[in-house]
Amino acid sequence: MSNIVAIVGRPNVGKSTFFNRLIQRREAIVDAVSGVTRDRHYGKSDWNGKEFSLIDTGGYVKGSDDVFEAEIDKQVVLAIEEADAIIFMVDVETGVTGMDEDVAKLLRKVTKPVFLVVNKVDNGKRAEDAVEFYSLGLGEYFTVASINGSGTGDLLDALVEALPEQEEEEEEDALPRFAVVGRPNAGKSSFINALIGEERYIVTDIAGTTRDSIDTRYNRFGFEFNLVDTAGIRRKSKVKEDLEFYSVMRSVRAIEHSDVCIIVLDATRGFDGQVQNIFWLAERNRKGIVVLVNKWDLVEKETNSAKEFERQIRREMEPFTDVPIVFISVLNKQRIFKAIETAVEVYKNRSKKIKTSVLNEVMLPIIESYPPPAYKAKFVKIKFITQLPTPQPQFAFFCNLPQYVKDSYKRFLENKLREHFDFNGVPVSVYMRKK
């Protein structure tokens, strides 16, 4: 579980550059492995061993200048409601603007930690100019230069210091948690209603561990789990429901709190940008994933259209393509049960533990037949494999020269693990350790 930090401010103050710099910390390494670079507005970051989710609100403001102001106000209000801490970014080159003052006015009332960050301060003269931002009435400020990262260390020290401690999840309720996520109007609410709806076979309604998502205990057909519903949460009069940013904030929280993410997508829209972002976030958080293609009844069918559609989705998912895709129609109650069955399977795969003896018996002969390529005339010898004691599948391969094992070979090992042990729907991590 990690805290959520939102970066707010008017356009062109450098929010995205700053955001990219922060998530680079670990993401760059992860990205190099998966070969994924997408236009994205949220990610994971950590500092001094404290993890947090970071949201760049700048990526969600669309429209002309006159629309901007209203949109930015909306975003700031949302960020204030949803995030655990807020970074308010301003630009030393332009000085204090009317829009900055508007944002500051909203932030002055906030009880959460707010960090005023003056960007583009890369010399002494500019550091002096930054003094005028005291006029925003938010107290002390931090000066940074996103472009080269100067000043970010001090800011991050203060930020992680101020983040609230996350309570550990209570163990007593050890039921699996399934989050139903996806873009607005994909059919999330209808899917949940089709599951629990009219018959209401619910044992209890328990308020979720987050202050906003509602957990529903589901107990039918021999399955028992908690459904984390992001769809039907507190409709806010202040906020237009269709605001993309809003649904993203909700999804981030729900994903963090779940074991398996059930991603509902609208067949008429396909596996588009926002769905890819949600998929990417679930994968980054190492959650189990099931993709439900809803409204399949509305799509014009050719002989092999389901297969073709599925192929297309898997292309977008690369390299993590070992994910179950179920075609459903919530309206006609088609394959709803199959969807839940699949989610339960994925949950079992995610918590699967493989005996060390079995792991070595299966994997060592494969490694012997296809050893890692030699590097600078040095040969890598993998001697022993074990599964790490983590909530999701992670494997350590002990060898003499871990630094010479390339990502492509780690992917080969991951594929072999999948082939032999069925980790369908679950991200698998492979680590090389020094023997």
Q: Provide the CATH number for the domain formed by 177-349 in this structure.
A: 3.40.50.300
Highest mean pLDDT among 23-27, 100-104, 188-192, 425-429: 425-429
> Is 57 marked within a binding site?
yes
> Is 9 marked within a binding site?
yes
The pLDDT score that the predictor gives to residue 341 is 92
Residue 373 has pLDDT above 60, yes or no: yes
Distance, CA of 331 to CA of 219 (rounded, Å): 22
> Is 98 marked within a binding site?
no
Distance, CA of 314 to CA of 26 (rounded, Å): 25
> Is 149 marked within a binding site?
no
> Is 182 marked within a binding site?
yes
Residues of the chain with CATH 3.30.300.20: 356-434
The pLDDT score that the predictor gives to residue 61 is 54
Mean pLDDT to the nearest integer, 7-15: 84
| pLDDT band, residue 352 (cuts 50/70/90) | very high
The pLDDT score that the predictor gives to residue 331 is 82
> Is 16 marked within a binding site?
yes
Tell me the per-residue pLDDT of 126-153, one tens digit each, with 9 for 90 and over.
999 999 999 999 999 999 998 888 889 9
Q: Tell me which of 169-178, 203-212, 274-283 is least confident.
A: 203-212
> Is 124 marked within a binding site?
no
> Is 189 marked within a binding site?
yes
> Is 14 marked within a binding site?
yes
> Is 186 marked within a binding site?
yes
Mean pLDDT to the nearest integer, 219-241: 61
> Is 294 marked within a binding site?
yes
Amino acid at site 327: F
> Is 290 marked within a binding site?
no
Residue 232 has pLDDT above 60, yes or no: no
Residue 197 has pLDDT above 70, yes or no: no
Distance, CA of 309 to CA of 46 (rounded, Å): 37
Distance, CA of 321 to CA of 340 (rounded, Å): 20
The pLDDT score that the predictor gives to residue 59 is 52
> Is 60 marked within a binding site?
yes
More confident residue, 235 or 146: 146
> Is 10 marked within a binding site?
yes
% the chain with pLDDT above 90: 35
Mean pLDDT to the nearest integer, 193-197: 74
Q: What is the DSSP string of 264-288?
A: EEETTT-S-HHHHHHHHHHHHTT-E
Strands ordered across the beta sheet of 382-387: 382-387, 394-399, 429-434
> Is 58 marked within a binding site?
yes
- Structural fold of domain 356-434: GMP Synthetase; Chain A, domain 3 (3.30.300)
> Is 343 marked within a binding site?
no
> Is 418 marked within a binding site?
no
Tell me the per-residue pLDDT of 80-139, one tens digit each, with 9 for 90 and over.
777 889 999 999 999 999 889 988 998 998 889 999 999 999 888 899 999 999 999 999
> Is 424 marked within a binding site?
no
The pLDDT score that the predictor gives to residue 261 is 94
Average of per-residue pLDDT values in the chain: 80
The pLDDT score that the predictor gives to residue 229 is 66
> Is 184 marked within a binding site?
yes
Tell me the per-residue pLDDT of 381-422, one tens digit each, with 9 for 90 and over.
999 999 999 888 999 999 998 888 888 999 999 999 999 999
Residues of the chain with CATH 3.40.50.300: 3-162, 177-349
More confident residue, 229 or 329: 329
The pLDDT score that the predictor gives to residue 413 is 94
Closest CA to 218 of 199, 251, 195: 195
> Is 425 marked within a binding site?
no
Q: Provide the CATH number for the domain formed by 3-162 in this structure.
A: 3.40.50.300
Residue 279 — φ and ψ, nearest 5°? -60, -50
More confident residue, 309 or 231: 309
User: 3-class SS at 188?
Assistant: helix
18 vs 60, 112, 149, 160, 417, CA distance in Å? 16, 21, 8, 16, 38
| pLDDT band, residue 237 (cuts 50/70/90) | very low
| Contacts of 33-39 spanning 24+ positions with Cβ under 8 A | 33/407, 33/410, 33/411, 34/319, 34/320, 35/318, 35/319, 36/280, 36/319, 38/276, 38/277, 38/280, 39/273
Tell me the per-residue pLDDT of 329-341, one tens digit each, with 9 for 90 and over.
888 888 888 999 9
Residue 347 has pLDDT above 90, yes or no: yes
Highest mean pLDDT among 177-191, 248-262, 286-300, 346-360: 346-360
> Is 13 marked within a binding site?
yes
> Is 183 marked within a binding site?
yes
> Is 119 marked within a binding site?
yes
The pLDDT score that the predictor gives to residue 431 is 92
The pLDDT score that the predictor gives to residue 57 is 75
> Is 56 marked within a binding site?
yes
> Is 296 marked within a binding site?
yes
> Is 12 marked within a binding site?
yes
Mean pLDDT to the nearest integer, 270-274: 82
| pLDDT band, residue 201 (cuts 50/70/90) | very low
The pLDDT score that the predictor gives to residue 369 is 92
Alpha helices in 285-370 (DSSP H): 305-317, 336-350, 356-369
% the chain with pLDDT above 70: 80
Tell me the per-residue pLDDT of 23-60, one tens digit each, with 9 for 90 and over.
764 333 333 333 333 345 667 777 887 888 888 776 55
